[in-house]
Every structure is written in structure tokens, then in C-alpha cells.
Amino acid sequence: MPLVAQTTVRGRVIDSKNNQTIPGVTVSVKGTYNAVLTDTDGNYKIDVPTSNGILVFKFVGYKTQEIEIGDKVSIDIAMNQEDIALDEVVVMGYSQKKRSEIASAVSIVTADKMAGVTTPNVANMLQGKVAGVEIVNSSGAPGQEAEVRIRGVASVSAPQGPLYVVDGIIGGSYDANDVETITVLKDAGATGMYGSQANGGVIIITTKKGKSQDTQFEFKATLGKRVADQGHLKMMSGSELYDAQKELYRDYASGKIDILKFYSERPRELRTRNFNWEGNMFQPAMVQNYYLSARKANEKSSYYIGGSLFNEEGTLINTGYKKLNLHANHTYQFSDKIRVDNNFNISAYDGTSYDYMDMYYSYLSLPWDNPYDSSGNPLFVDGTSTSWWSRDKINPLHTIKNSNHEYKGFDVNYDLVLDYKITNWLSFSSSNRLSASTTKSHDFVSKLAAGTYYGKGYINESSGLDYGGISTDLLKFNFDGKIHSFSGLVGVEGQQDHFESLGAEGKGLPEGFSVPAVASKELLIHGYKDASYMQSFISQFNYNYKSKYFFTGSYRIDATSAFPPKNRNAHFPSVSAAWLVSNENFLKDLKMVDMLKLRASYGITGMKDIGAYKYMGLFDLSTQYNSDAAAVPYQLANPDLTWEKTEQFNIGFDLGLFDRLTINLDYYRNVTRDLLIQVAQPLSVGFEKKWENVGRVNNNGLELTLSTILVKSSDFQWTFDITYGTNSNRLKGIDTPIYQTLNGISQIYRNNGELYVFNLPKWLGVDVQTGAPLWEHLEKDANGNVTSRTPTSEYADATAQEVGHALPKFQGGFNTFLKYKRVSLSMNVSYMYGNDVYNFTRKFMDNDGHEPYYNLMKWKSGWSRWKTPGDVATHPSIQNSALSTENSSRYLEDGSYLKLRNVTLRYEIPQNIVKKLKLQQLAVSFSGDNLLTLTKYWGQDPEVTITPSTYVMPGVSDFKYPPNKQYVFTLEVKF
Amino acid sequence: MVLNFKNTRMKTRIFQYLLLSGLLISGFGCVKDVSPSDAINTESLATTQDGILNVTNGCYALFKDNIEFNGTVDMNNNYLRQYFQLCDFASDDITCGQVTEDPLFYSFTLSHSPDQSNTRFFWYVSYKIINSNNTIIEIVDKVSDKTNDMKQLLGENYFLRAFCHFNLLKFYSKPYAIDPDAAGVIIRSSTTEPAQKARSSVKECYDFIISDLKKAAGLMNASRGVKYASKEAAWAFLSRVYLYMDDETNAIAYADSVINSGSFALEDATGYKTYFPNAATSPETIFLIAFTQADNKGKFGSIASMIYSDGNSGWGEEFASSSIRDAMSDHREDARWAYIDSLKDDDGGIVKKNGIETFYIKKFSYQDGDPNLSSPVMFRLAEMYLNRAEAYAKQGNSDKALDDVDMIRQNRGLEGSLYNRVIPNGYTALKVVLKERRIELAFEGHRAIDVYRNKLQMDRSYWGYHLSGLKESDIDLSTKPTGYANEIVDYTNPRIIYYIPVDETLANPLCLQNP
């Protein structure tokens, strides 16, 4: 039996506009995985079957062309530049669409736009690049993930983050280096298909896949340095603090400083002591990332395998994070009907964390204390030390040396996808993922460390095991007609997740040992399990008429174990429509307009992640009395509890002009109903709160993205993008305001108010005559209207009022990219405006003499201390400052900022050198992150968390791990 | 023909796949009911025997546990820590050695505010215990044939409900003896009553407490030991309640019941020196809250931490005042000096903190040899003698009053200095009794209310940071301070009690704030 005869076809590919050769074009035999790439001169050669071959030419930015091979052995073609706006294929999760067909608010970020950002997590790569997406780095701790908010805050109690989908399946794990594209789905037209998990938007990650017949290798090495960025916060030096403390000895009546008493209590030699705590606790740290991947595709299969090693030291001493990730995907075409994909991802990480108090003391310890003894070892300091000046007799350097806070984890994901073509218009696909992960944390303090564990030591270890899976089985249909086209899918999805934890804690460890087995007293064990289940029905229908009018409808039903039996199911419909005006006859020939699309969508999404058992009345069993089991009231029952649902309405347009300018504008109105809120109960009921479905949140906003290609010539390119998003947030339908308080700072949620509004006494400054602090006292009439405002120096009389809000008025970014021949420069800036931040650390670092043994922050210019009657000052007299550091609008500052997130300068080594080294591409780049922050905020960093949790209130800046400035050098090799 | 055959085969295959996947999904995502693995569902409480025992034990646990409040678990917030600090830091027995941002400071300076986290937490956890009590009382009341054990548990719940209400009155309402018609606290006696409720008068609260205690005493015949409530504890408590009401007859009657029960005996002078670390096994203890090693709160949250430190174990910022030390200074042989201990430097001099001499208080330390561990005593026999003595003194029976005082003294190493029915110059029988009460029950949560319910003044003219604006350089230990605000606090001062928490007055407008 003769084999199918093969011949070799060669050719060259050029650009039809400028006749330049195009390297990297994929030339393949249609219907197979047989493909090659054109070389740097645009030449290719490929083996083809001698019968019925069609060559397909594909390249990003150009229209795909198909040419019958017939009996030709040489095929040269000129490719036409594509209308990217129309023809690019976008992964939408359960299905794929061409850009022209999308009727929803969707943003796409490709790998090239994310290059230059060195980070282990993907959220950081999106900063400032997608309108309507707010990304906050609330902590600079190594391994810390950024917080992501899409289109404002839609819930009070539920986690707000988006749903992540990796390679078409919900969940999953990946490394930033494996990412090819990120698609952000913003409105219900697109997210409706994810139903009860989609309130926070959906982020779809597509990993790199094999493309060509030649194995392609990619290697990237990044090496650099990071330093802590303390913003405007600087602590005083020994001499500055010494001079500032003279104020403590001022006599109020005479206004004079009792200098003799001062010298008697503050020896003059103190002024010469100056230990730099900040400089010693925070040190420059190294960051490294190594990535190697290989990929290939042929007629039957394609594969990609990539490994990445990331290692960052933390700027706070003894902290760091390491991660190793292996990602592989493999597609095998069994026959022309059956395709099977196998993907897996293994990731392992190991991090060293820190104790909050070590951070606290890094700032507040006095520069007059030297924490090192004469031999250079950290000094032991405890309550009996008489020569330690700082308020709390503790040396954080000694504590850090004698403690360890480690965590590690390991996770595995395996995907199996089966695609079966039943007929040419009907196919069946089954996507399945199994995942398992373990985590372990280890907190250890040696018995040598001064403080509460001295002489005993302390250990607390905890492990968690999480495993589960998801299976989505769909029937997909597709009729592509010249006039009418239909497509759609219908199917079911099931998910389950199981979690178990185990922990042990104890004290009484002998020196040098740090495992739970050696703890001898106060032994406690922890452990519990949890599970969740969800079953869904998914469907979608798409129709287009002559590629001008597009319509999509989807319907999903979810049933989940998180809700009481009577409210277990919920329905999520959505519809969207688009009009591709530029395909109409009257616009088709207008060269100026590349694309004009009008679109509108409406849909409902839900939120199920409120944590389990919220509807039950519960007594918590995890305590004991006299070593007997004891149960304590924990939660009030609510058998009517149900889902939060968001109705989303979006209209927008996409306009492309002159091949140079793209404008995307979206307006949205989202109403989240049946908010899950813990309604405050009078404390005398014995419960602080009860879960109820009460009220609504409205989020209305505008998103604008402007992308311009300012210059595009053969040698020089310059693009500039702007994103802008504004969101207005209103709480409705609650009769009595809800107050959330943490550390005494209060936020109020009231009808017609925004979320996260600070409710505190208003600071009026300092009384000119007495130097006492002033707050505002309000008198109200029977209807609650303010009838008078008077200043008072009695804190108990100050009236709490709405003084600021944590949510911004608008935010966005600028990106620009310049390329001249082989040198390119890119810059990314992100900005936020109108958010207020409560600078909680000032209570300690700017304490008006309440804490004479804490160090102070250096003052902002314009700040002054009241000394004698008649002084107009910002800070009260130290002798008359009772309660001046109590929570009020005094420490509420404007957190607006502009940050230069990334600047990257890249140079591609000339091809003649590259060829000599037998490589395909070689480039080096230098980049800097967080190089510049412009802000009025007088503290560490105006970027503060937007996620409420047990110890955290949105908009409040507590002692946190400072962000980093980072300088890295990267080498990229393709071969 | 061939086509048809292919079609059916295709159809079967499609059905096979769908069936398979349908099975996979229905097995895979089957939505089951999930119950928490570490909590009891309230609905199942009534049906399990263990449930009622566990919840009752939970009430005791709430006296010592740090539970979540305002979204956070603050190690400083537990019932007993606040109970002792709110009373004794406002008294003349403890002086403040260091200014602090912790709200305990306001007990010293009297600069109270309705949003103090300590008073708000104390109010909250008290009512949480009361809610638990009400849940059990409602369930057990429905049981027709109660066993003795069940009656014991029911009695304990009545006792604890009364105890929590009584302690709330102590901090938020005027003493009965000053004004029984003043605003008391909110009486919570049912889990289904409306959340908004007004405060009852002090007298109404006392009547409610007495009724609960009498029921409790009648039910508790299967005592579980001193770590739990018992009949005798109910009697001891009634003695205290009637004393505060100035009902001398009943105060004496119930003190008699306890003393004559034969179940208790006073520690002698030697035994007293190690009484508190070993209170659980002493015959003097009537009722205490048990702390095990697992309940050791360490530096951040133990009762001992603020008033005692061995250098590392605690903050050690508040000390026995010169006022109480002066009251005891005549008799250095008094066994009660065992619980006051100064920190000495290498030359034997007393170490000063911010200018104040350190005199640590050890009543809450050294159970199992740990400086931060103790099981605080709520009722002990010595108080019964003192309750009885005060009642006798107020009835005019000074002989019997002094006999009871002597009973205490001869068990505290003062057998050589008994009163023997002779009132010393410048004293009355009542003054003698109150002085002995102060020394015996110092730092145990009695002093402030004892002073104010007897319509006396609290004299804190000694050095300490309760004096606002005090500088270390102003301190001259050889003299007394003069000219500072709040050195002397009269019983008519509105700040002898705390503000009702702002959370309560905001969510429950029927509950009116204190002036």
C-alpha cells in the first residue's frame, strides 16, 4: 500500500502594503496540524500531501489566506493587513467569538502588552490597562496577590473579586509567564453564562499553545533589586526627636520650656544617638525569575510545556517567597471527529512571612536605642531592661532572629477535554478538571525571644487540604450562512469542593526545637471540614444577520448547597445585541471608519460565596470549660436567606477611525438586590448581627478606552492608550443605617449613601486661644436636620458625621509604547482620584505627646504646634491635648495618586549576531517598577485595601508591608 | 438504507454520551445538604442530652473566652479581665503607672465615652451569656419529667442569668442604696421578645435577680463542684444582693446559711498565702471560674498582665496604691501582704516605673506555677463573714459585727491584734468593718461599689497617672499630690458608672443613655 505521496512547497510572504517580508507567519495545511513558520526573510518550506492540499497563511494583524496547492511547488503571497477590530478571535469562556460579533463589554489584553512586568501574579499585569478594573496592591509582602474590583463594589458582605477561568474551565492555576491572553468580561451579556459566580466579573486566562512544526523554545531570565518604598513617611532621627521632645516640657501657663527638667530627664548625649530602624529593618532585596518553555504543533497534535521559577526576597528582613510552576498542555486529534486535550499545572510555593508587631516596632522604636550589643548580635530586651528607651521593652531585631513564620503549599490541576464532532454543525464537548491543593503554615517563636513567650516558646502549625472538581458537558451547534447564522450551546455543569484542616498549637518547647511534638504545655488542637456542591444548567443562543446585526441570549440555572433548601435554585438570564454599523452599505466604503459598533446588553448575575451555613442558628463547639466540651451562641437563624442578584444593563460603542484611533465607550447601570447584610442587633440581644437580605446597591458608571497609533512607519512606531473609569455607588432600601467599626474607626452604610463612608467626628483644628483640639458638635432637630454647628474641645460631645469616602471618583491609566528599529520604550502609569484614606498609623506616629516613648514621623511642611495663646497652629498644645488622637477626620487624608508603574527599555540584538548564535531572537531589557508616586497622602502608601475582613477595614491604612520599587534586567531568548 | 442505519447508530451514540455525562454530572454536582463540622444547629439542641450540658458549659466558657466583637478578636476583650479592671481601676486600691491608649485608662481618669471597647464588649458578652441561659431555660422548662442532673443545669442557668444582670447593674446603674428608682439595665428573660426594649428600674432588676436566685437555690441539688454554680453559691450571692439593698435581715440570714452549711472553712494564715493559685481545691472557695492551661492568655489578655510581671510575662503597669498599702502598713505580719510584691533593683531599692513605685499584685498569678494563670474566685467564705459583719454594724449590733471581723483577722495572722469587741478611737463599727472588707477583698472587684453604695467619697490623692497632665518630674513621693482634678470622687458624681454602649443606644432607641 503506497503512502500518501509528499512534495515540498516553498515560498515567500510579504506585506501587500509596503512589500516588506513578514517573518513568523504560520503556513499550514488546512485541517491538519502540519504547520511551519516563515523565517526572518519571510521564506518558508513545507511538506504537503500531493492530493487536495490547501495552504493556509495566518499571522496576527493580517487577514488569513487560503491557497489551493494543486501541483504548485512555489507559492508566494502578499498578505493584507487585517481589521483587528473585526476578525480577531476572542475566547469568551464557554465559546469563542470574533471581535465583530461581541455584543458585550469585553476587554482583551495580549501578552505583548503585559511584557515588562515581572510579577508572580496576573492581576499586577492588568494595572491601568483595562477601563473599569481597579487593581489594588494593598501590601508589598512577597507573594501577596493584588485585589481586583470590576465595575465598583457590588456587595457589602461578599467577596468582591472576579471569577477566574483558565483555558475554558472555572478555577485552575497558571504562571504569569504561561499567559497568552487575558480577556476581561465586564457586563452580564458576557458574564451571565457564569450565573451565580459572576457578580464580580470574569477574567479568562488563555495559556500559550503550540503553533508550528518546528519546536520553539523560549527562555527568559529576570534579575533585579527591590527597595522598600516608604512614600512620604520618614521617621525622625535621634537629634530631631530629641529637639521635638522639648515640647513635652513646656509650661502651659507661662508658655516657656522648663529646659532644666528636660535635660535632667533627657541626657544631652541622647541627641547624638541615631540608630536607623527603617534602614535596618528594611533592606534592598533581590528578585529573580527564570522561565523556559518548548512548544510544537503538527498534524495530529500540539503541545506546550513551560517551567517557571520565581524567587523574591522581601524588603523586610527575613521575609520572602519562592514559587516553582510547571504547565503543560497537549492536544491530540484522534480523527477528524475526535479531539482530546490534556492539560496540567503543578505549582509549589514556599514563603516566609512576618509578625505584625515586628512591623509596628520597625517604625515606632526610638532611634536612641541600639538593638545590637558590642559583639554585633541583637540585644535581648525585656521588662527588666533599664537602659531601653522605647515604650515597649522589646527589640524587634531580636524577636525576628528568634522566630519564624513560614508557609508552603502545593497544588495540582489536571484538565481533560473531549471534543466530538457529531456532524459538521453539531458537536459535543466535555471539559473536566480535577484539582487538589495542600497548604501548611508554621508560626514559631523561640523561648529565647523576649515577650509573652519568653521561657516557653510557641508553635502553631496548620495544614489544609482542598480537593474537588468540575465537569461541563455541552452540545454545541453552529450554522454559518451567508445571510443567517446561528450558533449556540446547551448543557450541564457540576462542581464539588471539599476542604479539611488540621492544626496544633502549644508552648513549652525546648531550645532549638520547633515542631509541635516537643511542645509540653497549653496544647490545643484545631480541625474541621467543609464541602460545597453546585449543579447547573447552561445554555446560549447566538444569531447574526448578514454579519451586521448580532444577537446573543443565555440562560443559566444554578443550585448550590450554600443556601437553605427552599432557596436553593436561581435563574440567570441575559440578552445582548449589537449593530455593526460599519458593515452597512452606507458606511462600508467610508475608508475613514474601520469599525463602528453599537451594542447593548441586559442580564442577571448572582453571588453565592457568602460562606456556608449562614442561614442556620448555631452554637460554636470549638471551646472548652474546665476541659469539658462547651457550646457558645454564634449565629442567629434565618431560614429565608437567599442569593444576592445583580441586574446589569450596559450600552456602549466601539469606533475605529483611520486605522489609527480606537474608542471604546461603555455606560452601565447595575442594581444588586437582596444584599446579604449582617444587620446590627441591639447588643442586649446577645448577638451583634443577624444575616438578612436587605437593601440594594446601585453602581452606575462610565468606562472609556482610547487607543491611538500616533506614528506607524517601517522604522518607528508610537502608540498611546488611555483608560478611564468612573463609578458612582449608592446603597438603597435600608431603613436604619448600618455601622461597621474596627479599632474605633466607624463606617456608615445608609440609604442613598455610598459604601465605605467614614463616619467620624469632624476635626476643626486647634483653638487659637487655648491650644486645645477642636471637633464639631452638631445640634439636630426632630427630623434629623442640622440646626447648629459649634466647635467643642470635649471629645465626648463631638458628633459623628459623614466625613469622607474610601471609594474613588475615577481611576485608570496611561500606556505608551515607542519603537525605533530595534529599540523600544514602554511606560505604564496608573491613577486614582477622589478616594480618602484613614491614616491610622498617625495615631501612634503623630501622637501629640500621648506616647513620649514612640518615635514620631517627620512633619509635612505647614504643620505647626500651638505654643502660646494667639498661635494659629495645626497641632494642639501638648499640655492641652486630651483625646486629640481619638478617631476623627483629622487623620483622614486625600489618597489620590498617580503612579509610574513600569518603564521598560528593550533592545533587540541585530539578526546577524542572533543567527551566528543559532538563535531566532535575542533581546535584553531594563525595567523599573513603581518608580514614582505623586500623592498628597502623608504616609506609607495611599493604595489601601478595598476588601473588608476580620482585621481589615477598606480605606484604612494600618502598619503594612510597604510597596517596593523594583529595578530589573531581563534577557529573552527564542530558539 | 445505509443512511438510516448510520443515523440510528449515531443517535444511539449520542444518547450514550449524554447518558454518561448526565450520570457523571448528577453524581458529580449532586447538591447535598452540608452541616458545619464544628457547631451545633440550634434546632437540634432540644433533642440531644449532651446539647444542654454543652451549652451550659459554654456559658461558663464565655466568662473567660476572647470572642469576636466588632469584626475582630481582641485579646484584651474577655469578660473577667474587663470585670476586674472596670471596678478596681476606678477604686483607690490600684494606681496607674503608665499612660496608655488602652480604654482601661479611662477607668482611672474617669474620662469615659460611650464607644469604649471594654465597656461595650462587657455589655455584649454579658447578654450573650444571658441569651444562652434563656435558650436553655426555655427548652428545659418544657420537659415534664426533669432528672436531678437536668434540674441542676437549669438552676445553674438561673444563677448565671442573675449573676450577669447583677454585674451589669454594678457598672451601668446607680447603686440600689443611692436610688432604687434609677434606671437599671435591660432585663432579658426570653429569646423571643422584641429586640427593642427599655431599661427597667434598679429595683425591678433586683427583684428579678432575687427571684432567679431563689429558683436556682431550689433546683440545684446535684452540685458539680466549685467550678460551677451550686445551691450554696446561690445563697452566698443572695447574701451579697440583700447587703447591697441594705436589707440587713436577709443579708444575715443567707450568710448564716452558707457559714452554717458546714461545707466551707476559712483558710488559716499559712494556707491563705497560697490560697489564690490553688483556689479550686481550697475549702474557702464557694464558686470560681476555672481556667486551664489552654486558657492562659499570656501577656496580651490575662487578668494578671496589667498588674503583675516577672519581667516578660506581663505589661506590669498598674500597682497597689499607697492608699491600700497605708491601710495595711500597721501590720506587716498580715498574711494578705503575700499578694503585694514590689520589684527591687540590685541595691534593694524599689524600682519605679515613670516615677511610681512598683507594687505588683499577685492575686491572679501562679496557678500551676504560671505568672499569668489563675482561676478567679467569684464567691468565697470570707465575704460571708464580712457581709454579715456589715449588716450587723448597720443594725447597731457592733459586738457581733466585730466578732465576725475578728474571725477573719485570726485567720490572717492577726490573732495578736483582734478587736475583742472594742471599737478603736476615731472609728465606728461600720468603719472598722469596711476597712477589713477593703483589705480582705482588695483587687477582687468589690472596692468601688462598696465605697459608693455606702455613700462615701473615693480618695485618690496619691501619685499615679489617673491625675491628668501628670509629668514624671512632678512626682515627689514624700508628699501627696494636690490640685489635680478627680483626686476625690463623690458618690454623687455621674462618672461612678459607665456609659451604655453606643451600639445599644443606636440600635435600641428605647434604651436611654446615662447622664
Largest CA distance in chain B: 128
Stretch B415-428: mean pLDDT, rounded? Answer: 93
C-alpha cell at A461: 502549625
Is the Cβ–Cβ distance between B153 and B133 less than 8 Å? Answer: no
| From B30, B71, B227, residue closest to A950, measured CB to CB | B71
| Confidence (pLDDT) at B2 | 36
| From A453, A619, A953, residue closest to B39, measured CB to CB | A619
To the nearest whole angstrom, how far is the Cα of A496 from the nearest Cα of chain B? 6
Is B65's CB within 8 Å of A623's CB? Answer: yes
Taking 70 as the threshold, does the pLDDT of residue B30 lie above it? no
Is A879's CB within 8 Å of B469's CB? Answer: yes
Confidence at B9, pLDDT banded by 50, 70, 90: low
Is B296's CB within 8 Å of A565's CB? Answer: no
| Confidence (pLDDT) at B5 | 36
| From B18, B71, B123, residue closest to A740, measured CB to CB | B71
Residue type, B192: T
Taking 90 as the threshold, does the pLDDT of residue A418 lie above it? yes
| From A535, A619, A620, residue closest to B30, measured CB to CB | A535
E-assigned strand segments in A237-300: 285-297
| From A453, A688, A850, residue closest to B99, measured CB to CB | A850
Identify all chain B residues contacting A851, using CB atoms and an 8 Å cutoff: 99, 101
Q: Which residue on chain A is closest to B31 by alpha carbon?
A: A533
Is B298's CB within 8 Å of A453's CB? Answer: yes
Is A428's CB within 8 Å of B127's CB? Answer: no
Is A744's CB within 8 Å of B33's CB? Answer: no
Confidence at B1, pLDDT banded by 50, 70, 90: very low
Identify all chain A residues contacting B34, using CB atoms and an 8 Å cutoff: 530-533, 561, 612-613
| A836-839 and A956-957 strand pairing | parallel
Is A684's CB within 8 Å of B67's CB? Answer: no
Q: Which residue on chain A is closest to B308 by alpha carbon?
A: A383
Is the Cβ–Cβ distance between A645 and B465 less than 8 Å? Answer: no
Identify all chain A residues contacting B31, using CB atoms and an 8 Å cutoff: 533-535, 559-561, 568
Taking 50 as the threshold, does the pLDDT of residue B3 lie above it? no
Identify all chain B residues contacting A258, using CB atoms and an 8 Å cutoff: 473
| Confidence (pLDDT) at A690 | 83
User: Per-residue pLDDT tens for A620-666?
Assistant: 887 889 989 898 988 887 778 877 888 999 999 999 998 889 999 99
Q: Which of A30-34, A536-540, A791-795 has the lowest mean pLDDT?
A: A30-34
- Best A266, A632, A952 member to test B by mutation, with max B CBs in 10 Å, is A632
* Most confidently modeled range among A15-29, A154-168, B132-146: B132-146
| From A613, A685, A843, residue closest to B36, measured CB to CB | A613
Which one has a higher pLDDT value, A927 or A735?
Answer: A927
Q: What is the DSSP string of A860-875?
A: PTT--B--STT---SB
User: Per-residue pLDDT tens for A249-279?
Assistant: 998 888 889 999 999 999 999 999 999 998 9
Q: Which residue on chain A is closest to B508 by alpha carbon?
A: A682
Q: Which of B39-53, B58-72, B419-433, B472-486 has the lowest mean pLDDT?
A: B39-53
C-alpha cell at A880: 492641652
- Best B13, B15, B16, B21 member to test A by mutation, with max A CBs in 10 Å, is B21
> Which residues, at least 6 apart from B139, have a Cβ–Cβ distance to it below 8 Å?
B45, B46, B52
| From A264, A536, A741, residue closest to B70, measured CB to CB | A741
- The span from the CA of A578 to the CA of A574, in Å, is 14
| Confidence (pLDDT) at B6 | 46
Is A430's CB within 8 Å of B21's CB? Answer: yes
Q: Which residue on chain A is closest to B113 by alpha carbon?
A: A796
User: Per-residue pLDDT tens for A811-858?
Assistant: 999 989 999 988 999 998 999 999 999 999 999 999 998 889 999 999
Confidence at A228, pLDDT banded by 50, 70, 90: very high
| Confidence (pLDDT) at B185 | 96
State in Å, rounded, how far the first CA of chain A is from the last one: 39
Is B111's CB within 8 Å of A613's CB? Answer: no
Average pLDDT, chain A: 88
Mutual angle of helices B429-440 and B381-395, in 10-degree steps:
160
- A309 pairs with which residues across the strands? A290, A324
Give me the helices (H) in A246-287, please: 259-265, 277-281
Is B70's CB within 8 Å of A682's CB? Answer: no
C-alpha cell at A899: 503612579
Is A618's CB within 8 Å of B298's CB? Answer: no
| Confidence (pLDDT) at B507 | 81
Stretch A691-709: mean pLDDT, rounded? Answer: 90
Is the Cβ–Cβ distance between A867 and A255 less than 8 Å? Answer: yes
| ipTM over 0.95 threshold | no
Is the Cβ–Cβ distance between B321 and B94 less than 8 Å? Answer: yes
| From A384, A685, A953, residue closest to B131, measured CB to CB | A685
- The span from the CA of B78 to the CA of B81, in Å, is 6
| Confidence (pLDDT) at B214 | 96
| From A261, A529, A882, residue closest to B37, measured CB to CB | A529
Is B312's CB within 8 Å of A422's CB? Answer: no
Q: Which residue on chain B is closest to A505 by alpha carbon?
A: B294
- Best B12, B25, B136 member to test A by mutation, with max A CBs in 10 Å, is B25
| Phi, psi values for residue B125, rounded to 5° | -70, -30
Is B17's CB within 8 Å of A420's CB? Answer: yes
- The span from the CA of B5 to the CA of A158, in Å, is 55
User: Per-residue pLDDT tens for B381-398?
Assistant: 999 999 999 999 999 999
- The span from the CA of A845 to the CA of A843, in Å, is 6
Residue among B91, B300, B258, B98 at smallest CA distance from A850 = B98
Identify all chain A residues contacting B69, using CB atoms and an 8 Å cutoff: 688
Q: What is the DSSP string of A82-132?
A: P-HHHH-EEE-SSSEEEGGG--S-EEEEEHHHHTT---SSGGGGGTTTSTT
Stretch B176-198: mean pLDDT, rounded? Answer: 93
Taking 60 as the threshold, does the pLDDT of residue A686 lie above it? yes
Is B34's CB within 8 Å of A634's CB? Answer: no
Is B31's CB within 8 Å of A535's CB? Answer: yes
User: Per-residue pLDDT tens for A908-961?
Assistant: 999 888 889 888 889 999 999 889 999 999 998 998 887 777 677 889 998 889
| From A494, A685, A843, residue closest to B195, measured CB to CB | A685
To the nearest whole angstrom, how far is the Cα of B335 from the nearest Cα of chain A? 28
Q: Which residue on chain B is closest to A797 by alpha carbon?
A: B113
Is the Cβ–Cβ distance between A129 and A817 less than 8 Å? Answer: no
Taking 80 as the threshold, does the pLDDT of residue B343 lie above it? yes
Query: Considering just the CA atoms, what is the radius of gyration of chain B in Å?
Result: 28
Residue A403 backbone zone (phi > 0: left; psi -120 to 50: alpha; other: beta): beta
